[in-house]
Amino acid sequence: MKPETPPPPGPRRSYGIIENTDDVTDIVLRAMSGAPSPRLQELMTAFVRHVHAFAREVQLTQDEYDFAIDFLNRIGKATTDTHNEGILFADAVGFSTLVVLMNSGGKGPTETAAALLGPFWRDNSPLTPNGESIVRSPTPGPELFANLRVTDPNGRPIEGVEVDVWHSSPDGFYENQDPEQADMNLRGRFYTDADGKFWFRSVKPACYPVPTNGPVGEMLRAQQRHCYRPAHLHFLGFKPGYQTVITQVFVDDDEHLESDVVFGVTKDLIGRYLRHNSNETPPAPEVKAPWYTLEYRLVMQPGEAKRPIPPIK
């Protein structure tokens, strides 16, 4: 097989010859200055300046550099169709949350706070009628009845919003991590009615550990950090004419709210998961106490609807 023909070279420009460490950054930036995209040039200029400044600030050793390159390579090798180590790393250093909040900032108190998509969202979850259960295989745990409403910022209901719901089991695993769970267990896709409402039945989610058998787990152990996320439900709302809302609603009594391993908890995302006992009438005759209810409002802004890229298949 013939080797692939290389692309034609760019224009020949003189960048300079490096004489000492002070020359490196400026010469690299001159080499990149011909990028026709102003945004690409802005991004790469800032990246080079910051990463070079980082190396100078910490006086990065060759061994540390070699370890970092190997760490990045191992992140790539650990990523599969069912696990995204790259997103997990960005989450675990707070980078994902920073980007999410920067891109949803400046919004008022009536609006749903954005949250991480996370590494476990799968596209094309089963279309489920309102009121039905998303428990698709035996999943022990307290039953949860969730009632949600989607509105615009003025409180007007939005009909026809496609809402993806997904969460971990009470054992702390998403179905793609657990061979004991049926495909698409604890996942469902709903449409809001004329009042902007959708509702479903499930089990109360529990806190869970992020995967620690890869480079991110190695990093957490080196930093003496725990690996737990507080219990939560994920929601993704999509409708043309509105900005896609991606958020999480956390269980209010979870012990990890103030130590989320991926820094995803904000105050507005803590929901009220109301516990009901045997002296109350359950929503269905077979329900045993304790059981829980959640009521929550999702607010969508007018704008462009974009579907995220699924991190796993």
H helix or E strand, kind and range, residue 143: strand 143-151
> At a CB cut-off of 8 Å and minimum separation 6, what does 120 contact?
166, 168, 174, 176, 177, 234, 311, 312
The phi and psi torsions of 52 (rounded to 5 degrees) equal: -70, -40
Residue type, 10: G
Q: What is the mean pLDDT of the chain?
A: 91
Query: Does residue 28 belong to any structural domain of this protein?
Result: no
Confidence (pLDDT) at 113: 61
* Per-residue pLDDT tens digits for 142-191: 999 999 999 999 999 999 999 999 999 988 889 988 999 999 999 999 99
* Per-residue pLDDT tens digits for 262-284: 999 988 899 999 999 988 998 88
* Per-residue pLDDT tens digits for 65-103: 999 999 999 999 999 988 899 999 999 999 988 988 888
Confidence (pLDDT) at 110: 37
Q: What region does 263 belong to: left with phi over 0, alpha with psi -120 to 50, or beta? A: left
For residue 114, what is the domain's CATH number? Answer: 2.60.130.10
Angstrom distance (rounded) from CA 223 to CA 236? 32
Query: Does residue 309 belong to any structural domain of this protein?
Result: no
Query: Does residue 65 belong to any structural domain of this protein?
Result: no
Residue 111 pLDDT > 50: no
For 38-66, letters b (16+ CB in 10 Å) and e give: eeeeeebbeebeeebeebeeeeeeeeeee
Confidence (pLDDT) at 108: 42
Angstrom distance (rounded) from CA 20 to CA 189? 59
Query: Does residue 131 belong to any structural domain of this protein?
Result: yes
Angstrom distance (rounded) from CA 219 to CA 241? 41
Q: How many domains does the chain have?
A: 1
Query: Does residue 206 belong to any structural domain of this protein?
Result: yes
Give me the mean pLDDT over the 219-236 stretch: 97
Residue 112 pLDDT > 70: no
Angstrom distance (rounded) from CA 151 to CA 157? 4
Q: Longest C-alpha distance within the chain, in Å?
A: 81
Residue 307 pLDDT > 70: yes
Residue 109 pLDDT > 50: no
195: which 2 tokens?
Answer: 């009042």
Query: Does residue 101 belong to any structural domain of this protein?
Result: no
Of 95-104, 258-267, 285-294, give the lowest mean pLDDT range: 95-104
Residue type, 227: C
Domain enclosing residue 207, as ranges: 110-299
Q: Name the 3-class secondary structure at 184.
A: coil
207: which 2 tokens?
Answer: 């806190």
* Per-residue pLDDT tens digits for 9-65: 667 778 899 999 999 999 999 999 989 999 999 999 999 999 999 999 999 999 999
Query: Does residue 145 belong to any structural domain of this protein?
Result: yes
CA distances from 290 to 13, 236, 293 (A): 72, 28, 10
Angstrom distance (rounded) from CA 175 to CA 178? 5
Confidence (pLDDT) at 9: 67
Sign of CA dihedral 202, 109, 96, 125: positive
Entry pTM: 0.85
